[in-house]
Structures are given as structure tokens and as C-alpha cells.
Structure 1
Amino acid sequence: MPYRYRFILAYAAILLLAVLLSGFIYLNDQRLQTTSDHLFNETLPLLRTVNQLRSAKVEHERLLYEYYATTDRLRLLPAIQSAQQQMASLFRQLEGQPLAMLDDSLHTMESIKQTAHKLDQNLMKDRVDWDLARTHLIELSSAGRRIDPYFDSFVREIEAEAKLESDASRAGGKLGAQLVIGFCVAIVTIALFVAFFVNRYIRETAERKRLAMFVERNPSPVISADDHGRIHYLNPAASQLLKDLQLESEPEKLIPQVLQDVWQSGGHTASGNIQLNDIVLDFNLSILRDLELAHIHFKDITEQRQAEQALLHQAKHDLLTQLPNRGQLEVWLAQNTQHSNSFHLVLLNLHHFERITATYGYQYGDMLLCHASERINQLLQDADLPRPGLCRLDGSNFAFMVPASGLSNTQQHRTQQLAQTLIDSFSAPFCLNDNEFYLSLCMGVSHYPSDSGNVAGLLKAADSALMESRREEGNSVHFYNSQLQGIHAQHLKIETELRQAINNNELELFYQPKMDSHNGEIHSCESLLRWLNDEGRPRYSPVEFIPVAEQSGLIIPLGEWVLETAFAQANHWRQHQPMVTAINLSQRQFQHHDFLPLLQRLKDKYPGIEPFIELEITESLLMQDVSCSISTMQAIKDMGFALSIDDFGTGYSSLSYLKEFPIDKLKIDRSFVMDMTNNKEDQMLVETIIQLAHSLGLATVAEGVETQDQLQALQSIHCAEIQGYLISRPLSAQDYAEFMASYYQGQQSQLKPV
């Protein structure tokens, strides 16, 4: 049944119930009104009349007794007559009422009145007959007692009638209340029924209205067109789109070209996208053949397309420098290898870039990377290199390809020239916020197809060459050769075994004595790290495993072990035969954040050890960051330890820096001492170093002394200490003790000056 008829039936039912209830309430109210009027206008006055009649009868009887007692006729007779008149009037009010024994009560009242008259006549006589008067009073009392039941009966009849009327009124009221409650329940039930259908009707109406307004209020453009591409409807969003595209006069341009193909092929749906001006629209097309219309819904995906392009760019480029990333490099490497094009792959590293980041922070590091990549990229663009050009791999590592056609020497020469151009360009500093930064380049080059025929092999070969370049401390180019692979494999083998040796405590400290050139006494030595096999022979020389430890980071735990072992040995010697022990410091160890705290812990562990410890630092290490080096050296001096510069003369220090270093000794490198007796230039250089040290108040130590002629030459120019195989090769702690015992028993005389 339609909702409209359901609402009409519900309304008619409610109206009928309302009319019936209103009629009943009206009739019941009229009946209650009649009953109430009868009660107040008849029943209650009648009951009041009966009560007044009873009172008047009692008063009349009292007056007669008083009259009998006083015979005061003049005073009492008017009151008696008034009482008789009142009773007569009240009886007249009772006439016509349906009261039982009303006539009997009237007859009795008449007899009372006659007896009273007789009493009055007797009492008026001169000789009153008192016996008769008493008889009359007895009759009056007897008549009064006879009439009282009548009055009680009247009261009961009136009260019974009033009760009947009250019960009828109460029953009518109860019935009315029940009908009202029933009506309310019916109204609520019908209201719920109506509310349910009204709510359902409202929802369905709203849904129909929403669906009807969906297209109109759809924020996405919607159009309807026929099979010929004629537009029949445009929603407001579509109209606004045409306005934005300035195509109000050409709305047909919104119709996808695929519409007619789908229509003719019998299809029903299609989707795709179209581009108008700078806006990209995605469309979904639905054909309604019964209406001979096609509905086309559009969605603006311009921002989505731009975001996809941005994500694609980010996936292929480095976020910091915006250069192509490693993935792009590998893609282009693979394409070039497929085309059999000969080329060089160059890996480039900004040498010691990490030190700048550690000193100035990542903000400076990022800016420096951007400036450096811009400088490199500009030079490579001028060289007209193939795509993708300069790529950033990670950290401070970059890569690019150089075409290598023609003879191999010519190929390598062109790449070498380009690499040198890049190196020369980095001679100019980078200026960032009033700070100047100098960088050097390390480059490793591999060749396709001679070095490898695949991408992974080319990258591996170039990285091997780059490792060799980095060992030369920057501004160098290395081309891959097959020997490098064996060298790197050997380094990896040494690194693995070195880790095991550190964990298994297989390393040992040896000590090489230093002799006082003036008196031949030995009061100091240098601790030297050795790695021996089970037979006591060197497993690897320090020249082999120390660089591996430096590159792998194992130098940190290794250096910590050396310090702890040397401190413990120096503390043991000072209790028997005091000996100053020199300990070499590596670059990473010297720059490590835990180095100074470690020295402090060892100082606290061995109180008073400071005069027996000397720390040796290479000249090249100090010059990498002069200000930081001076700060660390001063902290070491403040702890009470002596400092010396090892291999002096092989680094790049200047006199201005040398005088700022808080050092105690200079160690003359063995390369100058070895030929000083045969080469005047070396002899003059050694003399100059010693004179310089004396002028600065520094002691000198000559290392690598192996002949008596070298010893005498050094003594003649006042070198303070001598170290070398002429005195002793490095010895274990036990052998060193035996050497010292035998030295002072006879060998010392052989080394004293003549």
C-alpha cells in the first residue's frame, strides 16, 4: 500500500478515536454535572432540612419543659410558637420528597403540636391541673421519641441516594480515565507506526533526492552525450572546468575520442585519460543504450600525475644534489654493455670529506657536497659525456662514464686528462660562510669490456682501483689491473685473521732500545707491534697489517691494547730498572673521541707513570687538522706525558706550525740517516733538523742507525739519542731484559765514541 494511503488511514483512525473519546467525555461530564447539581441543589439541602427539623423538635420540647417549670407564658409562648412554625416550614420543604414514613412523621408532629396546645390551655388556668400537665409532657416526650426514627430513616435514605450518585460518578470517572489511557496508548501506537513510515518515507525521499542531486552536486565534472558526441547535459563542475580551460565555446573537446569506437563496437564502458592545456583528466565512460546516452565522469589527476613524476624523479635522483643516483647509473651501464660500446667507468671520492663533516657538522657537509658536485658536473658537461653524466652513489662517492673508442693508450690518455682536469679544479677552495675548505679527489677507473663484461664486475673493478687511489691520500687516479684483485683479496684475508688475532690475544709488543749518544746509556725504548706465528716468526709484517687495521677500523681496539700493554710494561720496569717507553699513535686513534679518556684511565690506573711514557705522532697526521691536533696534544701535555714527532722531514709541516706544537722531541726519519755518510745533502738535512730542534729546545732521536760511521756522524752533530739495529733489533719483553743485562756487562763499550 502506498505511504500516502497509509498516512490517511492512520489519520482517520486517530480522528475517529478522538471524536468518540470527546463524545464520551462530554456525556460523562454532563452526567457528572447533573449528579453534582442534584447533590448540591437537592440532596445536601434535604439532609440539612432533616437535621434542622431534628434540632427544631428538640428545641420545641425543651421550651415546653421550661414552660411547665416556670409557667412564664409571656416569655416562652412566642418561642414555642416560633419553633412550631419552623417545624411546619421544614416539613413543607420535605413534602413531595420520596421519603418513607414522611406522612407518619407529619401526623406525629401534628399530635405534638396539639398536645402542646393542650398543655398551654391547662397552664393558663387559675388552677392548673399539674397531673394532667405531667401527662401532657409525657405524651410530648413519647411523641418526640417516636419521630426520631423517622428522622434517622430520612437521613439514611438521603445518604444512600447520595452514595449511589457518588458511586455512579466515580464509575463514570474511572471509565473516562480508562478510555483516556486507552486512547493515549492507541495514539502512541499509531504515532510510532506513523513515525516509522514517516522516517522510512523521509529516508527514501532524501535518498531519491540525494541520488537525483548527485550528478548536479558532484564536485567532479559529469557530462551526458549521444553517439555523435553531442553534449546533452553538463553538471556545474563540468561547466566550471570548461570555464577554467577557456573552452566554453568548444565543450565537445571534453568528449573522449574513444566514445564512438565503444558505441559502434557494442561495448558498455571505457576509461582512460585526456590532457587539455596543463590539466590531466581521468575519465570513466558508461553507455546507457536504452536512453541512447553516454555518461562520462571526469577526475582531475593533474596533482596526482605531478606527484607521480616527482616520485619517479626522486627514485632516480639523489635528494641532496639532484644528480642521477646509483640505480640510474646501473641502468645506463647495462644499456651500454648491451650495445657493446667501449667505455671507462670512473668512481670518484672526495677524500677526507668525512673530517669536515665531523668538524663542522652535516649542514656544512651537505653544502660542500652540493658545491663540489656542481663544480664536477660543470666540467663533465663541457666534456660532452654520455648519459646519465655525473651520478652520486652514496656519501662522498660519485661516478661517471667516459667513451673509450680507438687505441687503448688513447682511451686511457683521454680519461687521464679528464681526471687531471677535475683534480686541478679542486685546487681552488670552496667558500662557505666565510670558511675556506680544500678537498682532494681520488678516482678509480675500470674499462668495458677488458676489465669486466657486466655491471657488477665493472663497479667492483672501479672500486678496487679507487681503494688504491685513496691509499695515496688524494689527488690521484688509478686504473684497474688484475693485480689489484689479488691485493684486495690479501687485504681482506689479513683483516679477517687480524680480527681473530685481536680476540685471541695473538699479538705481542717488542721493544727497541734508544741509546744516549753522549754516554752510551739506555734509558728509553720504542714499543713496536709484532704479529708472530706459532714458530715465533713474523706472520705478517707491520707494513702489511697496520694499513689494513687503519682502513678497517681495527686500529682502535688494537691501539687500545697497545697502550694498555705498554703502560703495564713501563710500570713493571720502573719498579726495577726505570725505562721511558715510546708508544706510536695512529691517525684514527689520535682523532678518536675515546682516546683522551683512555689515557686518563691508564694514568689513574698507574699513578706516577707519566715520566715513563712518551707518545709518538707522525708529522703528516698532525698536519691534517692543525688546530684540532694542537688541542689534543696540549691535553696530552697537561696530563704530564711527553710527545715526539715521528718520521720528521717526510711530512708537510712548516716552521710556523712546528713552534706551536707542544712537543719534546723530533725523530729524524731513517731515510735521511741511511745515506747521510755518503750523501752530503742528507747529512746537511740531518744537521739542519738537529740545529732546528736545538733552537726550539727540543731533543732529537735518529732512527735506522745501522753502522758505526752513522753513529759517529750523529754524535759529532750532537744528536741526543740513537735508535737502530746497530744497538739492537726490536726484542720481546723477556729478551729486552736479558739484553739490558748483557749490555751493561760489556757490549756498551763497543758503541761509545772513540
Structure 2
Amino acid sequence: MDFETQKVAIIDDEPSTLLILESAVEALAEVVTCSTSGEALSFINQCLPDLIVLDISMPELSGFDVCRQLKASPVTAAIPIIFVTSHSDVENERNALALGAIDFISKPIDIELCRLRVKNHLMLQQQKHLLAHINAQLEAEKKQLSVTLRSIADGVISTDTQGQVTFINPVAQRLTGYPEHEALGKSIDVIMELRDATSNATMVNPAFYALKEKRTAAMAFNTVLVSRENQVFRVEDTASPIIDDQGNLLGAVIVFQDVSEAVEMAVKMTHITNHDQLTGLPNRVLLHDRIVQALSQRISPRSSIALLLIDIDNFKYLNDSLGHRVGDSIIKSIAHRLKAIVGSNATLARVGGDEFACLLTDIGSGFSADSIAMACLQAGREPIVINGKSHQLSLSIGISLYPQDAKNAEEMMRHADTAMYRSKAKGKDAFSFFSTDLQQAMHRRVELEIILRNAIENDTLVIFLQPKFDFASKSMMGAESLVRLYDDEGNIIGPDEFIPLAEETGLIHQLGHQVLRKSCALVAKCNGLGQELKVAVNVAAKQLSNPGFVKEVDQIIRNSGIKASSIELEVTESALMHDFEQTRDMLNALTALGLSIALDDFGTGYSSLAYLRQFPLNVLKIDRSFVIDMDQEQQAFDIVLAIVNLALSLELSIVAEGIENQAQFDALFELGCHAGQGYMLCRPIPEEQFLTDHVLLDNRIHLV
């Protein structure tokens, strides 16, 4: 606080005295004056000076009267007063001091002495204000600290150097059960009863460590606080010594918090992280940990560890067609059955949507896993009744053994998965052990997938064409587009090998797009050579499940500049039955574009007459499995005859596949078949050869 901010009020009825006093004080502070004693009280209330210089002898009111009024008011009572007097008797001084005056200035006025007296009292007043300001700050900080300590969400307890409690905030009072008046002065280990959560052993309070070592100490892991009412709280804390600026130890402070809910939540989260929510079984993460643990703790070199990977056959179809609620019920039912079979000594886990895994430890030989696998298969065959409806299922199981075929947990999982796919390939409802030939097949699969992905990415898939010939004119009426894949050495990889892989990996959409585009481009080339050509392109079931398939086909045809009627899409019976209504709507939309639809492999699937009537089909293709035996077996001949009659009655064009000899050709012709294709007529050939042999030349078949 600066002198310039201070104010001195001078009250005197003599103008000359006012001038002298003002000249003496004006260098020290702001000066305000009043010459009428009757107005002195209101004047002082208005200006509120830091110091008052007051004349005793004034006609209206004496200085003593004015002083009494000022001291009687709470607003002005604290303002120091210096009396100006021409009297020097003791009685006046006694009266002035009794009224609260702090000093005297005698007349005649000595200006220098007056200035010194006023300066000293202004300095005292300044120090008084400064001290009051500091005290106010300290009090505010004290209150703020108290409010903070009492409002903080953590428990706070401070002690002296002997560990006796000197402060305890409300949270600490609640957790310990001790109110402040009972806790103060007691030992910290009495107020905070700490125990080990596992052993229940008493634990030393970390405040004693902080006092002894003069450094921060944390509470031991897994500590609980037992309150006065025997409530148990899981707590975490830190204790620190209280050391002043001179390095003296004054005590300790311990800050702790109730983490019971956090620990409980962590336990729940750990369970959720490691278990499947639907079945409550361990998940893939926990299974992996248990496999690793089992491998490291194998009981004897002669014992084996088995991992069974169990998959529900055709579950995706059931889940999609019946709904996820029914699918979840099936999963829980299978989980319950498997758990009952494997028992408590094995780990049963759910590792995927419809996949389970069973870890068997300390089995005597590889054959002991057989009984578990067979029991699981039998459990899978038992019908599952949901909402009064029975569902028949089956399982496919793959088995990997340690140390026979796997060296670590990752290999066991991978090998069991490979063996499980072998069971699927064998027809499902079976179990298979991993073997070297399976490993080689898996390596081949990986290599093939890389080749396929590269071919799709680099647009290097090629199409071969197999001509279709009209039986009446014995001339080519169109061709079927067949995709081929070349390996790195230029060898052809057959579609039977990579098409199932494309469907499994989801690459079938990109593959189908590329084949259709290349087929349309071929038609455009033929048109440019003056030859009309109709090309049939195979469509996979997964392509029909793509909502954007119709738009994709339309765009490809438009971009190629050909007529939509130049393209025929061949679909299989199984593709039609995947989602009846969706597939029917999609085929109607494709037909609306101008395409024709052929039903391929008729007779090998559902062979339902109902769907033949409801789908917009144009062509019925007789599967080669019937054609190849029709000249040798009467039953095969009768089936072909029935298919031909059915197609004719539905006004469908008939194309026979797999014609390999003259007898088959003649028989099909006599039955009324419209067209055919097969090795006897022409094998699938590369695009360049097709253009040369069947487009540039008027190629015809020469049969008797």
C-alpha cells in the first residue's frame, strides 16, 4: 500500500491553521479539510480518511465532542485522531487520550515536527492495513484448505511425529467409522485397521513408514480397510512425511480412496474379456492362455494334450433363415451339451460364432480324444426343440495333438482348424486328426489364395469358351464362358479348385464381376467381326445375395455397348433356394434388363417343381451326370426323358451338358433336346482360339 493512496482529513475553524497544517501534510498524503465542527461527522463519513487531524478548541462543537461522535460510529471509530491544541495542561491530554486520540500537535505549529508526527502515524496505519490484508489472505487460504480437505473425494488423515491423528476429513471419518472428536489424538493404526485381502493378516500403516524413512510410502497391494463397524473397503493409498522448509519432520499425511467398486468392476471386466457373453464359456483369449499353460505344465513326456475344434454344420444358413434369436438358442443348447460331455477337467471354450474348442490335458494317447469327439458328434445329432419346432444338426470336429503334430498353442489352433475343414470336406458329421497331408493341403490353399487374389487385383483371370451347338442346324448357337486361372509357371488351375476358395474367402464377387466384364467384352469383339453371339456366364449363390448385383450387371453391359439379350446367366438350384423371395425378385429384375436365365445342374439339388414355376427361367440344362450314363443305364435315360418332357411342358429351352459320344447325341436329339455341349462337340478353348475357329470360320459339327 503506497502513501499516495492515503488520505488525511484536517478539521479546524481557523483558516490560517488549516493552511499551515495542509502545507505540512500535503507532501505525505491527499489532504481534505473542514472548517465547521458541526459538519465534521458527515464530512468524515463521506471521505473516510486514513488519519484525522482535529482541533480541540472550536466554537460550535469542541474537538472532544467531535471525537466522541466519531468513536461512537462503527464506520469511523477505527480512524486514528491527532489533536491540535494550544493547551499543554495534563488534564486536556488525559481527556484526549481517554477519548481515543493517538497524538498531539501543539500550537504554534512546528511544520517539520507536524510532518514527522503525521508521517509516523500514516506509516503505522499503512502497516496496520497491510497486516490486516495479510491476515485476511491467510484466513481465506486456511478456509479454502479446510474446505478442500473436507470436500475432497479421498480420505485424508494427518498425524504428528508419533503417528497420533491430528486431522481427519469427512471421507476418512466415514470409511474408518471414527468421528473427528474421537479420532484426534489416537494412533493412526487404531483409526485405520488395515488387513491383507487374501490372508486377513494385519498390515502396518504406511504412515509409519513415511515417518521412519522420511519419504513417500504406498500401501501394499491387495489391502482392505476394516471400519469400526466391521465394514470392509478395498483401498489404495499413499503416505507422505510432513517436512517444513528447514527440513524438520512435523508428522505424516495419508491419502486413501475406496476402490471397492473399481476392483469389482475390474473383476467383471476381466471375466467379460475372457468369457463369451452368450454361453459364459471361456473365449479364444482365455483358451489360448490355458493352452500355453497346459503345454508348459505337461505332466509327463508320455502324456499328450489334445485340442478339439468343433463347428456346427450349416449354422449360418439356419441363423440367417430362422433368425438370430433361434441361432442363439441353438448355440446355448450345443454349449450345454458339450459342457456335460467334456466335464470339469477339460476347458470348453466358444471361439467363434458357431465354433467351440475343447482342451484335453494329460491324455494317455491320441486315441483317448476319439471317445470325446464321438460323444460330441452324438450330442450334435440329437434334435434341438425351440418353440415347439425340432431342428436337426450335426458337428464337424478337427483334432490336433501336442507334441505329435504341434509345437505351440498357435500351431494347435491352426492344425485343429485344418483338421476340422477336412471333416467338412468328408461330408460333415465327422471328426479328423491333423496330418502331414492336411498341412500340405493347407499350404496349397494359402498359395492358391495368393494366386487368386493377385489375378483379381491384376485383372489376369482368363475366360475359356465352350461352344453350344443347336441340334437341328448342327451349328454353334452360343457359348458358355468358363473362368480359368494360371499359376506362376503358366499352368492352368481348374475352377473346381479355386471357385470354392473364392466363395469361402468372399472373392467370388470380384471374380464374378471380372468374368462378366470379360465375357461382355468378347461379345463386343464378335459383334465387331459381324458375328452375333450369346454367351452364358455362371453366377454363384453369394453373388445373388448381393443387393447391388442387378445394378452391377446392368452397368457392365452398358459399358461394353452390347445388347443385354447377348448374355445368359446360369444359376444353380442351390443358389435359387438360398433366399427364395429375394432370389426371385432379383431374377425378375435381371430378366427386366433383357437377360435370359438358365437353370444349371438341374436334377442334382432340390428339383422342386414349385420353384420352377415361380422363377423367370428361360433355359433348363441337363446335368452331365445324367447324360454320361444315359446310353448305358435305363434309369439315367428315364431321368433325362423326364427332364426333357418337363422342360418342354414349361416351354423352356433344353441344353444337355457333357455329351461325349454319338449315342448320347443321337438319343438327346431323338428325345427333343434343343442344344448341347460336351467334349465330343468341342472342349473349352481360349478366347483367341474361339474367335478364330468359331467366329471367323462358320464352324459346324459334322455328325451322322
> Structure 1 residue 672 and structure 2 residue 617: aligned?
no
Aligned-pair distance for 1:554?
A: 3.6
Alignment of 1:228-627 (within 5 A): 236-241=170-175, 254-256=192-194, 257-259=202-204, 267=212, 271-272=219-220, 273-276=223-226, 277-282=231-236, 298-318=256-276, 323-340=281-298, 342-349=304-311, 370-386=328-344, 389-394=347-352, 397-402=355-360, 405-422=363-380, 424=381, 428=384, 442-469=396-423, 477-502=431-456, 506-531=460-485, 538-574=491-527, 576-605=530-559, 609-627=563-581
Q: CA 1:476 to 1:645, structure 2 compared with 1: closer, same or farther past 3 Å?
A: farther
Supply the distance in 2 between the matched residues of 1:573 and 1:238 (Cα, whole angstroms). 91
Supply the distance in 2 between the matched residues of 1:294 and 1:733 (Cα, whole angstroms). 90
1:657-683: CA deviation from partner (whole Å, max 9, x where unpaired): 232221112212111211222222222
1:204-248: CA deviation from partner (whole Å, max 9, x where unpaired): 234456667877777655668999999998765455446699xx9
More strand per residue? 2
Aligned-pair distance for 1:495?
A: 2.6
Supply the distance in 1 between the matched residues of 2:19 and 2:686 (Cα, whole angstroms). 136
Secondary structure at the residue paired with 2:703?
A: helix
Whether the aligned pair in 2 keeps the contact of 1:667 and 1:700 (CA below 8 Å) is yes
Alignment of 1:90-239 (within 5 A): 193-208=127-142, 220=154, 236-239=170-173
Q: CA 1:235 to 1:684, structure 2 compared with 1: closer, same or farther past 3 Å?
A: same
1:104-130: CA deviation from partner (whole Å, max 9, x where unpaired): xxxxxxxxxxxxxxxxxxxxxxxxxxx
Supply the distance in 1 between the matched residues of 2:474 and 2:151 (Cα, whole angstroms). 106
Supply the distance in 2 between the matched residues of 1:401 and 1:473 (Cα, whole angstroms). 24
Secondary structure at the residue paired with 1:344?
A: strand
Supply the distance in 2 between the matched residues of 1:701 and 1:429 (Cα, whole angstroms). 44
Supply the distance in 2 between the matched residues of 1:183 and 1:350 (Cα, whole angstroms). 106
More helix per residue? 1
> Structure 1 residue 726 and structure 2 residue 676: aligned?
no
Rg larger in 1 or in 2? Answer: 1
In the alignment of these two chains, the number of paired residues is: 580
Give the match for residue 72 of structure 2.
none
Q: CA 1:184 to 1:227, structure 2 compared with 1: closer, same or farther past 3 Å?
A: closer
Whether the aligned pair in 1 keeps the contact of 2:451 and 2:487 (CA below 8 Å) is no
Q: CA 1:203 to 1:549, structure 2 compared with 1: closer, same or farther past 3 Å?
A: same
Q: CA 1:199 to 1:430, structure 2 compared with 1: closer, same or farther past 3 Å?
A: farther
Whether the aligned pair in 2 keeps the contact of 1:321 and 1:370 (CA below 8 Å) is no
Q: CA 1:211 to 1:458, structure 2 compared with 1: closer, same or farther past 3 Å?
A: same
Aligned-pair distance for 1:738?
A: 5.2
Supply the distance in 1 between the matched residues of 2:446 and 2:162 (Cα, whole angstroms). 75
AA of the residue aligned to 1:344: A
Secondary structure at the residue paired with 1:383?
A: helix
Alignment of 1:38-53 (within 5 A): none
Give the match for residue 60 of structure 2.
none
Whether the aligned pair in 1 keeps the contact of 2:536 and 2:570 (CA below 8 Å) is yes
1:247-287: CA deviation from partner (whole Å, max 9, x where unpaired): x99x9584333349997999466734325445323455679
Aligned-pair distance for 1:479?
A: 3.2
Supply the distance in 1 between the matched residues of 2:691 and 2:149 (Cα, whole angstroms). 101
AA of the residue aligned to 2:616: P
Give the match for residue 63 of structure 1.
none
Supply the distance in 2 between the matched residues of 1:568 and 1:201 (Cα, whole angstroms). 95
TM-score, normalised to structure 1's length?
0.64
Whether the aligned pair in 1 keeps the contact of 2:294 and 2:361 (CA below 8 Å) is no
Aligned-pair distance for 1:461?
A: 0.6
Aligned-pair distance for 1:458?
A: 0.4
Q: CA 1:487 to 1:635, structure 2 compared with 1: closer, same or farther past 3 Å?
A: same
1:374-411: CA deviation from partner (whole Å, max 9, x where unpaired): 22321122124457844344555443324573453442
Secondary structure at the residue paired with 2:363?
A: coil
1:587-636: CA deviation from partner (whole Å, max 9, x where unpaired): 33333344322321233345662333211112222222222221221111
Q: CA 1:275 to 1:675, structure 2 compared with 1: closer, same or farther past 3 Å?
A: farther
Whether the aligned pair in 2 keeps the contact of 1:469 and 1:476 (CA below 8 Å) is yes
Supply the distance in 1 between the matched residues of 2:518 and 2:558 (Cα, whole angstroms). 15
Supply the distance in 1 between the matched residues of 2:346 and 2:366 (Cα, whole angstroms). 24
Supply the distance in 2 between the matched residues of 1:302 and 1:321 (Cα, whole angstroms). 27
Whether the aligned pair in 1 keeps the contact of 2:211 and 2:241 (CA below 8 Å) is no
Secondary structure at the residue paired with 1:647?
A: strand
Supply the distance in 1 between the matched residues of 2:130 and 2:370 (Cα, whole angstroms). 91
Whether the aligned pair in 2 keeps the contact of 1:328 and 1:388 (CA below 8 Å) is no
Aligned-pair distance for 1:456?
A: 1.2
Supply the distance in 1 between the matched residues of 2:354 and 2:120 (Cα, whole angstroms). 88
Q: CA 1:586 to 1:264, structure 2 compared with 1: closer, same or farther past 3 Å?
A: closer
Q: CA 1:403 to 1:691, structure 2 compared with 1: closer, same or farther past 3 Å?
A: farther
Secondary structure at the residue paired with 2:224?
A: strand
Give the match for residue 671 of structure 2.
717
Supply the distance in 2 between the matched residues of 1:215 and 1:737 (Cα, whole angstroms). 92
Supply the distance in 1 between the matched residues of 2:550 and 2:417 (Cα, whole angstroms). 35
Whether the aligned pair in 2 keeps the contact of 1:513 and 1:525 (CA below 8 Å) is yes
Give the match for residue 72 of structure 1.
none
Whether the aligned pair in 2 keeps the contact of 1:223 and 1:232 (CA below 8 Å) is yes
AA of the residue aligned to 2:494: S
Give the match for residue 11 of structure 2.
22
Supply the distance in 2 between the matched residues of 1:508 and 1:214 (Cα, whole angstroms). 78
Supply the distance in 1 between the matched residues of 2:206 and 2:515 (Cα, whole angstroms). 84
Aligned-pair distance for 1:493?
A: 1.9
Q: CA 1:738 to 1:282, structure 2 compared with 1: closer, same or farther past 3 Å?
A: closer
**5+ long unaligned stretches in structure 1:** 1-5, 37-174
Supply the distance in 2 between the matched residues of 1:357 and 1:723 (Cα, whole angstroms). 39
Which stretch shifts more, 730-739 or 180-189?
180-189
Whether the aligned pair in 2 keeps the contact of 1:262 and 1:270 (CA below 8 Å) is no
Give the match for residue 661 of structure 2.
707
Q: CA 1:534 to 1:736, structure 2 compared with 1: closer, same or farther past 3 Å?
A: farther
Determine what percentage of the aligned residue pairs are the same residue.
28
TM-score, normalised to structure 2's length?
0.68
Secondary structure at the residue paired with 1:646?
A: strand
Secondary structure at the residue paired with 1:258?
A: coil
Q: CA 1:590 to 1:265, structure 2 compared with 1: closer, same or farther past 3 Å?
A: closer
Whether the aligned pair in 2 keeps the contact of 1:344 and 1:403 (CA below 8 Å) is yes
Supply the distance in 1 between the matched residues of 2:357 and 2:294 (Cα, whole angstroms). 15
Q: CA 1:726 to 1:193, structure 2 compared with 1: closer, same or farther past 3 Å?
A: same
Which stretch shifts more, 236-245 or 648-657?
236-245
AA of the residue aligned to 2:219: S
Supply the distance in 2 between the matched residues of 1:293 and 1:451 (Cα, whole angstroms). 66
Q: CA 1:306 to 1:523, structure 2 compared with 1: closer, same or farther past 3 Å?
A: same
Which stretch shifts more, 371-380 or 347-356?
347-356
